């Protein structure tokens, strides 16, 4: 008959009515609530524009409200939630990204990280065992600045003015 009850110290309690012995090993059980929380930039933004491809670093630093206390990664996806990059750091340089709209999701997990480029968030197994995806994402819009062209109202792109002649040199 088993005498042990929940909460008792197995090494210091009589476990059985006749005889008993403990195994030579044990199995650790990790209680994990996969809470990835919410994600934002360190400035608190959830939407950012970067000038990608200009040779200047476009580093975006991330933060999260996860209470999991375990491993955490950021998944950068396209608008269809297909993984493009898996980032285990709290920042990423988007300068080499093409023009477009991307999402940064947070992922809390206790075991091995399985997510890889090409995985679909929501259908792929992103980590071994249980995991939690953030309740929101950061939207990253990557593009190029376009200064356009300027011209005067008459279509001309140059004008000659006489400075100091007392006549206003208004150009429109």
Q: What is the pLDDT of residue 105?
A: 98
Tens digits of pLDDT across the chain (172 residues): 788 888 888 778 887 778 877 888 888 877 767 899 999 999 999 999 999 989 999 999 999 999 877 799 999 999 999 999 999 999 999 999 999 999 999 999 988 999 999 999 999 999 998 899 999 999 999 998 778 888 888 888 888 888 888 888 888 7
Q: What is the pLDDT of residue 161?
A: 86
pLDDT of 31 reads 73
The angle at the Cα of 80, spanning 36 to 51, to the nearest 5 degrees, equals 85
pLDDT in the model for residue 22: 81
> 16 with 110: CB under 8 angstroms?
no
The pLDDT score that the predictor gives to residue 155 is 87
Q: Euclidean distance between the first and final Cα of the chain, in Å?
A: 99
In total, the chain counts a number of residues equal to: 172
């Amino acid at each position: 008959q088993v005498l042990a009850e929940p909460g008792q110290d197995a090494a210091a309690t009589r476990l059985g009515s006749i005889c008993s012995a403990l195994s030579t090993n044990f199995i650790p059980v990790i209680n994990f609530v996969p809470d990835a929380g919410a994600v934002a930039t360190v400035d608190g933004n959830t939407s950012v524009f970067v000038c990608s491809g200009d040779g200047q670093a476009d580093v975006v630093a991330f933060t999260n409200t996860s209470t999991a206390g375990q491993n955490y990664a950021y998944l950068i996806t396209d608008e269809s939630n297909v993984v493009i990059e898996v980032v285990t750091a709290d920042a990423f340089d988007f300068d080499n990204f093409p023009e477009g709209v991307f999402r940064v999701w947070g992922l809390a997990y206790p075991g091995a990280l399985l997510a890889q480029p090409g995985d679909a968030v929501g259908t792929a197994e992103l980590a071994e065992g249980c995991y939690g995806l953030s309740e929101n994402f950061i939207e990253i819009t990557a593009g190029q600045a376009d200064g356009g062209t300027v011209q005067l109202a008459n279509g001309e792109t140059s004008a000659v003015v006489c400075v100091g002649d007392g006549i206003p040199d208004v150009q429109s």
